[in-house]
């Protein structure tokens, strides 16, 4: 027996019902649905544990697809660069000119053409790229600059010694790279997602939190823990009073997908609209202020918890960021809209949950990965300096980061799950991974696309 309410899918208040009641104009992409169509096929566990499959992914995914390397505001000055490592590959992304145009940013393979030293091991700012081994040096534009004892290299033609380039394009403030010089343009690859994001001004948002952590599971196990709300009921019970978990909406677009999770409504597991409205607000406040908050909440006469949360959150965001959000829809203030861009990038669209995630293999280790979490914020006036990137080792909980606050508790619940999944999968007792047809449809679709890349048919 469960302490939760039993319900059928048809009993629930859906995202579309909430959007229909929105007091303001809802951005058009949120009104369009693209329901999943794939059947209930199981997945192979090998995808998560096999070094051979990882090696194939390096060739067919990581060397072939557009990937988020950094935000443009992380490299504001000429010479500023970041190092983007992916599996055993590495890229330098560098600003070579002022301005926000695509010509201002270049990306190169991060390898010295003398004897193969990794040119840069960390982010920074330099006037030229000088190899620390023998001093071969390149200009920021990739052309060769200095060859010590040139007389000793009769075989070398300096004009042919430019650093090999990696494709780079800008989108909504994100710097995206692709090893494949023949890859289709980013905008074409993003397809529907690019159309939708015309409505979401992420290029005007600033980085307010940036944390990277080694997670104790394969990159796909970890990423998939963030692609469904199905796990909320037992993994994150403290957010259940104000989270539409079972009534989240899932949409599928070519290679990509989306999840819309309403907040300030009670989970269908707790009775949905029948749940105590004051308890919805209490749980929201307790989460924001810390787990043991006993602070009383007030529900203005006649307002639902969602109405009241909207008033509170809208004014809270406006005050914190000194921006006018009075014309933004209820859903842009309250709900979570998470897009997934194949293979590993998740930009979220709303003011209320302005997250960005990225999941990458940790070198060639199939049992751990790097998870990047960024929080963006709107701003007025001058762009605030980007929050510094902080790093958490595998043994450090998310709560170790001073910026995570109660959010860290939730991510530690997820981290604990994925560690157990990885161990369980490696025991190879479970023959397959079984997925829900609707709530886990994005995971199934992701693997469908992944398999096509691995097979070379996409």
* Separation in Å, CA 174 to CA 102, 106, 390: 11, 13, 19
State the minimum distance, in angstroms, from the CB of residue 193 to ligand FES. Answer: 40
Per CB under 5 A, which region of 5-13, 318-326, 358-366, 409-417 contacts Fe ion?
A: 409-417
Task: Report the partner that residue 114 touches, choosing among Fe ion, ligand FES, none (CB closer than 5 to 8 A by kind).
Answer: ligand FES
Q: Is residue 109 a contact residue for ligand FES (CB under 6 A)?
A: no
Residue 117 touches ligand FES, criterion: CB under 6 A: yes
Does residue 112 belong to the site contacting ligand FES (CB under 6 A)?
Answer: yes
| CA–CA separation, 195 and 187 (whole Å) | 9
Compute the least distance from the CB of residue 128 to ligand FES, in Å.
13
What's the min distance (Å) between Cβ of 387 and Fe ion?
23
- From Fe ion, ligand FES, none, interface partner of 164 (C-beta below 5 to 8 A by class): none
> Which segment (302-310, 315-323, 358-366, 411-419) binds Fe ion by CB under 5 A?
411-419
Name residues whose C-beta falls within 8 Å of residue 243's C-beta, 6 or more positions apart in sequence: 229, 232, 236, 261, 262, 263, 265, 267
Phi, psi values for residue 453, rounded to 5°: -65, -45
Task: Please identify, using beta-carbon distances, which residue of 61 and 211 lies nearer to Fe ion.
Answer: 211
Q: Is 342 a binder of ligand FES (CB under 6 A)?
A: no
Q: Which of 133, 143, 315, 423 binds ligand FES (CB under 6 A)?
A: 133
Binding-site member from 129, 136, 200, 253 for ligand FES (CB under 6 A): 136
Residues 146-185 that bind Fe ion (CB under 5 A): none
10 Å CB burial of residue 247 (0-12, 13-18, 19+) is buried
**Which is nearer to ligand FES, 94 or 310 (by Cβ)?**
94
Instruction: For residue 43, give every residue at least 6 positions away whose Cβ sits within 8 Å of its Cβ, in sequence order, or none.
Output: 432, 433, 435, 443, 444, 447
Residues interacting with ligand FES, by CB under 6 A? 112, 114-115, 117, 131, 133-136
Residues interacting with Fe ion, by CB under 5 A? 414
């Amino acid at each position: 027996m469960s302490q939760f309410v039993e319900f059928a899918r048809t009993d629930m208040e859906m995202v579309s019902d909430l959007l229909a009641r929105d007091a303001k104009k809802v951005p058009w992409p949120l009104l369009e649905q693209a329901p999943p169509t794939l059947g209930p096929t199981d997945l192979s566990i090998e995808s998560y544990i096999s070094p051979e499959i990882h090696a194939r992914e390096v060739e067919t995914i990581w060397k072939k697809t557009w990937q988020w390397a950094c935000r443009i505001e992380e490299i504001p000055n000429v010479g500023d660069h970041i190092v983007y490592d992916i599996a055993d590959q590495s890229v330098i992304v560098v600003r070579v000119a002022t301005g926000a145009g695509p010509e201002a940013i270049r990306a190169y393979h991060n390898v010295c053409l003398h004897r193969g030293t990794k040119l840069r091991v960390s982010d920074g700012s330099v006037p030229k790229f000088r190899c620390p081994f023998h001093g071969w040096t390149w200009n920021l534009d990739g052309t060769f600059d200095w060859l010590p004892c040139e007389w000793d290299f009769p075989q070398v033609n300096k004009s042919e010694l430019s650093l090999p380039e990696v494709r780079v394009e800008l989108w909504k403030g994100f710097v995206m790279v692709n090893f494949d010089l023949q890859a289709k343009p980013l905008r074409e690859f993003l397809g529907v997602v690019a159309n939708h994001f015309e409505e979401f001004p992420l290029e005007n948002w600033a980085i307010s939190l940036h944390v990277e952590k080694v997670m104790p599971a394969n990159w796909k196990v970890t990423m998939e823990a963030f692609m469904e709300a199905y796990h909320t009921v037992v993994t994150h019970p403290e957010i259940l009073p104000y989270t539409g978990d079972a009534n989240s909406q899932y949409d599928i677009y070519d290679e990509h997908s989306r999840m819309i999770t309403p907040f300030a409504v009670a989970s269908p597991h707790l009775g949905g609209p029948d749940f105590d409205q004051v308890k919805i607000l209490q749980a929201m406040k307790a989460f924001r202020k810390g787990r043991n908050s006993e602070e009383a909440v007030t529900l203005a006469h006649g307002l639902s918890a969602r109405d009241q949360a909207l008033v509170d959150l809208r004014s809270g965001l406006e005050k914190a960021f000194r921006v006018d959000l009075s014309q933004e829809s209820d859903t842009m203030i309250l709900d979570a809209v998470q897009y997934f861009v194949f293979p590993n990038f998740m930009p979220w669209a709303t003011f209320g949950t302005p997250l960005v995630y990225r999941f990458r293999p940790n070198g060639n280790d199939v049992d751990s990965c790097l998870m990047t979490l960024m929080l963006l914020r709107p701003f007025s006036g001058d762009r605030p300096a980007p929050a510094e990137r902080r790093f958490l080792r595998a043994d450090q909980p998310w709560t170790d980061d001073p910026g995570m606050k109660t959010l860290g508790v939730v991510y530690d619940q997820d981290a604990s799950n994925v560690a157990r999944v990885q161990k369980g999968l490696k025991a190879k007792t479970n023959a397959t991974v079984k997925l829900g047809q609707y709530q886990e449809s994005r995971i199934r679709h992701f693997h469908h696309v992944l398999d096509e890349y691995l097979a070379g048919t996409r």
